[in-house]
Amino acid sequence: MADNEERTPRVVVGVDGSDPSRAALDWAAAEAARRGAPILAVHALGMPLIVPVTAGPARFEPTEEIADQATDVLTRVTERVRDLQPAVTVETETALDEAPLALLRHVRPQDLLVVGSRGLGSVASVFVGSVSIRVAAQAPCPVAVVPSRWRHRTSLDRIVVGVDGSDNSRRALRLAVDLADEGGGELVVVNSWEVPYPYDPVAMTAMGYEPQERLFDRKSEELVDEMLNEVADGFSRERVTVVRTQDSPVNALLWAAEDADAVVVGSRGRGSVRGLLLGSVSQGLLHRADIPVVILPHRAEDG
């Protein structure tokens, strides 16, 4: 989806002049400074398609008024980044495509894609082409979604990550470790489980079976220890907090992330139905989190 030319990894951010996109820009600028990476700010115009009889589809060219508005948006973006992070290099791009397609065209596996969210409160939002939902399902790189409810804090002092023993969550843990290292922050590793019911715990224990709560707790402890030893071996354990709880993954992550700066999760979404499907945990966090959610899509490569 992006060009094949070798280049430095960068932070790509979608901008449109709205409050949510300004929040995303502020977070992206801080992250670019931590990484020592340039920013590419993409403003998508979403011009209508022309489908001629004798040629391939093309986009209407913007009017002079639309082009001037785009220039104004990107000028303010450049000024904002220079005010916040003077050392960060800023590049800008105006695209004729819709925002999801324009952003996906400009990212590669080593990049970070940052978008704002206007809130995803309705179930219908999953099916109407939300920018954050679509890019988080289809991007080849990690995607940070900055919610409109975000309190405009750009530090990375506390990073929360959900793990379940899968390869996807191992990659998410690796990404969370990198983010915590960037900000010199704390890492909170969350593993949760839900005991299958119905069963009679008293009767099962009387028959000599180990209570399922105790079994799940022991398995959770073993799983988290194994993952930390494999993925975060070089990360100081003094900066790691482990949360193991009997709860749904979304509730457990939201509870652990109450005072955090970002929450990281892998997605098992398959990018089908025009790329609008994400895993249930990713969707739950996008709908309910008040802090940036960093999603590692299933098609994002390690790097």
pLDDT digits (tens, 9 = 90+) for 56-66: 678 888 889 99
Residue 58, pLDDT score: 81
pLDDT digits (tens, 9 = 90+) for 258-301: 989 999 998 864 444 433 445 778 888 988 889 999 999 876 65
Domains with residue ranges and CATH for the chain: 1-154+295-303 (3.40.50.620), 156-260 (3.40.50.620)
Under a CB-based contact definition with an 8 Å cutoff, are residues 27 and 154 in contact?
Answer: yes
Three-state DSSP at 117 gives: strand
Under a CB-based contact definition with an 8 Å cutoff, are residues 38 and 106 in contact?
Answer: no
* pLDDT band with cut points at 50, 70 and 90 for residue 127: very low
Model confidence, pTM: 0.85
Q: CB count, 10 Å around CB of 259?
A: 10
* pLDDT band with cut points at 50, 70 and 90 for residue 120: very low
167: its two tokens: 């390869």
Three-state DSSP at 303 gives: coil
Under a CB-based contact definition with an 8 Å cutoff, are residues 9 and 92 in contact?
Answer: no
Query: Mean of the pLDDT values across residues 23-39?
Result: 95
